[in-house]
């Protein structure tokens, strides 16, 4: 990954995952990479990888199933008129 030194690494990894969610690489209900997988893919520390997943949950983009993993949040159905 090409790092931009003026932007914190956790924000860059967060933006990467957010883009993958928005583009459908990780559709609603799909499992996101684990902290260890993020660490291996991006080279960030385990603490940084866990922070990214926590921030995605805080933003409502993901939820965690303890002992199973972190998943992309299902978007609510748009009301039909």
CATH class entry, domain 9-71: mainly alpha
Q: What is the DSSP letter of 25?
A: S
Q: Where are the beta strands (DSSP E) in 7-67?
A: 62-65
Q: What is the share, in percent, of the chain residues with pLDDT greater than 70?
A: 91
pTM for the whole structure: 0.87
Query: Coil, helix or strand for 78?
Result: coil
> pLDDT tens for residues 15-38?
999 999 999 999 999 999 999 999
> pLDDT tens for residues 36-65?
999 999 999 999 999 999 999 999 999 999
Residue with structure tokens 């002992």?
67
**Whole-angstrom distance, CA of residue 52 vs CA of residue 35:** 8
For residue 63, list its beta bridge partners.
71
């Amino acid at each position: 990954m090409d790092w931009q030194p003026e932007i914190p690494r956790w924000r860059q990894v967060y933006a990467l995952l957010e883009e993958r969610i928005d583009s459908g690489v990780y559709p609603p209900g799909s499992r996101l990479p684990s902290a260890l997988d993020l660490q291996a893919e991006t080279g960030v520390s385990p603490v940084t990888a866990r922070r990214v997943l926590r921030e995605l949950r805080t933003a409502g983009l993901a939820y965690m199933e303890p002992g199973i993993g972190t998943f992309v949040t299902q978007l609510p159905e748009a009301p039909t008129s």
